[in-house]
């Protein structure tokens, strides 16, 4: 962990935050649910925001093209992933989920199918319902090494009306970072069924192992041409409140189709969002490296705790993200585990069933916090399990 970049905040500092994570539950609950991190801001981001405020510069913002954000994004993709795109392929929006809605409204007709691998980040499921499109669900297969794609099941799931693969890559909530081999398999499936791909890669900068992220659009020119890649600086740089998302259009045809919606539905980009993003991409990587080191340490803490004290909970440590997906079904609590842990441990976790039917009996634990708070979260959950007779003495 970098000594020179202070990351950790204490509970009083966090309680003073006005974000959703720290305001939804009463003060005696420790929040470990929504995907925000409990770390101090990257210094360049903080400085950029302070500058805009000092300049009292809150009029209509300049166009993002003038801020050279498409160029900055393209340069970042080339440097980090070896992914070559032209700045002209890049557009900016407010939120990734907003942009998913736009994709579904413009790329499919009502009733057409969207292939989704479950369990999944809940807005994937909601966006299909809310836009009147049809969910084509195919579960990832849980195994001893973690979740894997089932290509036969994916093939079988795709019917004639399935038009779009909505991919979460890396995957929330399982933390899978799909291998090149898996992605090649998926690319073959996409070709076989003539699908358009909407690839949400918002967690790409949060790879926890040495393996680099492989943008789905890198799998071939033909794949790029049928892919819209969505991402945002909000996850890696912890600035979701600034509302800025990125879309990369793999072909003019896709962009034209997407352009069917009136431009003003997109809303605007905020001055703060653009300033923070430019600063993060330009000078935020030392901070991001420090965050990743802390997340790796926290991932190990969770994995060791589960392995040594909770024999009834199954967990494969994530390869990316800061989310631990805990299979609590064998606890046989007689209720959803998030409800049990909220009441008995006063810890707020994400509710498994929101991630689809495969999430029943699961919780998602956000471990992007200080080691001290993480220990308290785990200790509270442990005490609740001991009291309920669900943590065996041998495991203690
Ligand atoms: C996979 C995924 N996509 C999108 C989002 C949210 O992005 P936005 O706030 O830009 O809509 C999240 C937030 O956790 C996420 O995990």
Give tens-digit pLDDT for 311-360: 999 999 999 999 999 999 999 999 999 999 999 999 999 999 999 999 99
Question: Ligand 1 atom closest to Cα of 35?
Answer: 14
Residue 384 alpha carbon to ligand 1 centre in Å? 31
- CB of residue 172 inside a 6 A radius of ligand 1: yes
SS3 for 135? strand
Residues of the chain with CATH 3.40.640.10: 59-283
Q: What is the largest CA-CA distance in the chain?
A: 63
Residue 308 alpha carbon to ligand 1 centre in Å? 32
Mean pLDDT for 135-157 is 95
Is 60 exceeded by the pLDDT of residue 116?
yes
In this prediction, residue 391 has a pLDDT band, given cuts at 50, 70 and 90, of: confident
Mean pLDDT for 224-252 is 98
Q: Kindly state the percentage of the chain with pLDDT values over 70.
A: 98
In this prediction, residue 393 has a pLDDT band, given cuts at 50, 70 and 90, of: low
> 371-387 vs 285-309: helix axis angle to the nearest 10?
20
Q: Which has the closest alpha carbon to 204: 196, 195, 213, 192? A: 213
Is 60 exceeded by the pLDDT of residue 395?
no
Residue 124 alpha carbon to ligand 1 centre in Å? 10
Residues of the chain with CATH 3.90.1150.10: 11-43+285-391
Is 90 exceeded by the pLDDT of residue 86?
yes
Q: What is the CA radius of gyration of the chain?
A: 21
Residue 72 alpha carbon to ligand 1 centre in Å? 21
Q: What is the pLDDT of residue 392?
A: 60
In this prediction, residue 2 has a pLDDT band, given cuts at 50, 70 and 90, of: very low
Check if CATH label 3.40.50.1820 holds for domain 11-43+285-391: no
Residue 244 alpha carbon to ligand 1 centre in Å? 11
Q: What is the CATH number of domain 59-283?
A: 3.40.640.10
- CB of residue 368 inside a 6 A radius of ligand 1: no
Q: Kindly state the percentage of the chain with pLDDT values over 90.
A: 93
Provide the pairing of β-strand 347-351 with 134-139: unpaired
- How does the average pLDDT of the chain come out, rounded? 96
Question: Which of the listed residues 117, 172, 206, 246 should we mutate to test ligand 1's pocket, taking the one with most ligand atoms within 8 A of CB?
Answer: 172
Q: What is the pLDDT of residue 3?
A: 52
Residue 211: phi and psi, rounded to 5, are -60, 130
What is the spatial distance between Cα 162 and Cα 137, in angstroms, rounded to a whole number? 11
């Amino acid at each position: 962990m970098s000594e020179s970049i202070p990351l950790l905040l204490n509970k009083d500092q966090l309680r003073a935050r006005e974000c959703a994570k720290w305001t939804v539950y009463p003060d005696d609950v420790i929040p470990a649910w929504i995907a925000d991190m409990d770390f101090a801001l990257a210094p360049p981001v903080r400085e950029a925001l302070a500058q805009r405020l000092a300049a009292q510069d809150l009029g209509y913002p300049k166009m993002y093209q003038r801020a050279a954000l498409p160029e900055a994004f393209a340069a970042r993709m080339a440097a980090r992933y070896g992914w070559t795109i032209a700045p002209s392929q890049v557009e900016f929006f407010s939120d990734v989920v907003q942009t998913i809605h736009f994709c579904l409204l413009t790329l499919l007709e009502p009733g057409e199918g969207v292939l989704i691998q479950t369990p999944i980040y809940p807005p994937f499921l909601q966006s299909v319902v809310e836009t009147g499109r049809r969910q084509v669900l195919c579960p990832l297969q849980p195994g001893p090494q973690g979740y894997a794609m089932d290509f036969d099941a994916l093939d079988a799931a795709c019917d004639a009306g399935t038009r779009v693969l909505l991919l979460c890559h890396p995957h929330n909530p399982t933390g899978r970072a799909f291998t090149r081999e898996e992605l090649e398999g998926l690319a073959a499936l996409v070709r076989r069924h003539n699908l358009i791909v909407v690839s949400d890669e918002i967690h790409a900068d949060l790879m926890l192992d040495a393996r680099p992220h492989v943008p789905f659009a890198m799998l071939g020119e033909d794949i790029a041409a049928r892919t819209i890649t969505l991402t945002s600086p909000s996850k890696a740089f912890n600035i979701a409140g600034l509302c800025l998302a990125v879309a990369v259009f793999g072909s003019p045809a896709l962009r034209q189709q997407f352009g069917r919606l009136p431009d003003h539905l997109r809303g605007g980009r905020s001055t703060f969002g653009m300033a923070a993003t430019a600063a993060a991409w330009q000078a935020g990587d030392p901070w991001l490296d420090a965050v990743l080191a802390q997340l790796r340490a926290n991932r190990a803490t969770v994995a060791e705790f589960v392995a040594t004290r909770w024999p009834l909970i199954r967990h494969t440590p994530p390869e990316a993200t800061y989310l631990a997906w805990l299979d609590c079904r064998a606890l046989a609590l007689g209720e959803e585990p998030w409800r049990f842990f909220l009441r008995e441990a006063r810890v707020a976790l994400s509710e498994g069933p929101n991630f689809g039917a495969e999430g029943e009996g699961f919780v998602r634990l956000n471990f992007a916090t200080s080691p001290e708070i993480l220990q308290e979260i785990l200790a509270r959950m442990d005490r609740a399990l001991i009291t309920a007779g669900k943590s065996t003495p041998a495991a203690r």
